[in-house]
Amino acid sequence: MSAVLSLQESGPRHFLDLKDFSGEALRALLTSAATLKRSRRNLTKKPLAGKTLAMIFEKPSTRTRVSFEVAVKELGGEAVVLSSKDMQIGRGETIADTANVLSRFVHGIMLRTDSAEKLHELARHARIPVINGLTELSHPCQIMADILTFEEHKGPVEGQKIAWVGDGNNVAASFIEAAARFKFSLRLACPAGYMPRAEMLDWAKEEGADVEVGIDPDWAVENAACVVTDTWLSMSDSEGQAAARAAAFAPYQVTAALMEKAAPEAIFQHCLPAHRGEEVAAEVIDGPASVVFDEAENRLHAQKAILAWAMG
């Protein structure tokens, strides 16, 4: 994993956002993930032997919780699961103090939170690696699994077209970063008012990424090798927004008719949990184009590579 160099190589090897890495570095992580997946049943080297990962959950999780915990254990380490309700951080202890204390107890921290600011403050003060398990602005571990899954089914992602349909949310933002680093075309169709953040699109333009945003799902999906969507109501959104979002996103449901506009044998991805009949029709997510469970499994393998690089 020596080929993977972060911008913070002189200190802890944090994994915060895809834009912090070169395309070559991310490619090395994917190569490692594929190797670890193939050798899962007979892994002889245990790079995390004697090491412990603290997993802090301020947002609920199924895939992040299970995939990280299993990944750590299969790499020879241990995991400590923490909720903000169980920690002094939930009673006013500063992020800096939490980072300093955990740096003396464990060898790495995974944080799943609705505050990107909190994640970056934790990384600034920690003397051990910090991994982004999700914030309201990005979800890099998910996209590493998504690219791994794409390449298993469709071959190298460079030069391919991926379509995003729906909310310009944190997952969409990490897809934009991935488009710049892995050099694929990304077309995003989002309702007015739910576009990706302007600063993210400005960054993509500065990086020379092939990223375009519009409001027409047919335009985005045309000849795409992969169609991706997410829930209409994200964890960072309030329940009071549900009705307005449902109205805005109704034309953005991924249906069989929409998938027909994609390239032949296009695949469908969704980070899960999914709401059949809302952002995706049941016949799509449960149909032959769907790779959502391969995608979910690959969270384990992609995160193994990240953990081995950061903590190994």
Does the annotation list 235 as a binding residue?
yes
Query: Peptide bond before 251: cis, by omega within 30 degrees of 0?
Result: no
Is 271 labelled as part of a ligand binding site? Answer: yes
Mind giving me the DSSP string for the chain? -TT--BTTTTS---B--GGGB-HHHHHHHHHHHHHHHHTGGG----TTTT-EEEEEESS--SHHHHHHHHHHHHTT-EEEEEEGGGSGGGGT--HHHHHHHHHHH-SEEEEE-S-HHHHHHHHHH-SS-EEEEE-SS--HHHHHHHHHHHHHHHS--TT-EEEEES---HHHHHHHHHHHHHT-EEEEE--TT-PPPHHHHHHHHHTT--EEEES-HHHHHTT-SEEEE--SS-TTS-GGGHHHHHHHHGGG-B-HHHHTTS-TT-EEEE-S---BTTTB-HHHHTSTTB-HHHHHHHHHHHHHHHHHHHH-
Ligand-binding annotation for 142, yes or no, is yes
Asked whether residue 10 is marked as a ligand-binding residue, the answer is no
* Annotated active-site residue in 17, 160, 245, 271: 271
The single residue of 13, 230, 253, 303 carrying the catalytic annotation is 230
Answer yes or no: is 100 a known binding residue: no
Identify whether 275 is a catalytic site residue: no
Q: Is 112 annotated as a binding residue?
A: yes
Q: Is 253 annotated as a binding residue?
A: no
Q: Is 230 annotated as a binding residue?
A: yes
Catalytic residue among 27, 245, 270, 299: 299
63 assigned to a ligand binding site = yes
139 a catalytic residue: yes
The reply to whether 62 sits in an annotated binding site is: yes
Is 234 annotated in a binding site? The answer is yes
| Residue 197 known to be catalytic | no
174 is in an annotated binding site: no
Residue 142 known to be catalytic = yes
Catalytic residue among 17, 142, 187, 226: 142
Q: Which of 112, 181, 187, 245 is catalytic?
A: 112
Which member of 13, 14, 107, 139 is catalytic?
139
Query: Does residue 299 have an active-site annotation?
Result: yes
| Residues that constitute the known binding site for carbamoyl phosphate | 61-64, 88, 112, 139-142, 271-272, 299
Residues serving a catalytic function are 112, 139, 142, 230, 271, 299
| Residues that constitute the known binding site | 61-64, 88, 112, 139-142, 170, 230, 234-235, 271-272, 299
| Residues that constitute the known binding site for L-ornithine | 170, 230, 234-235
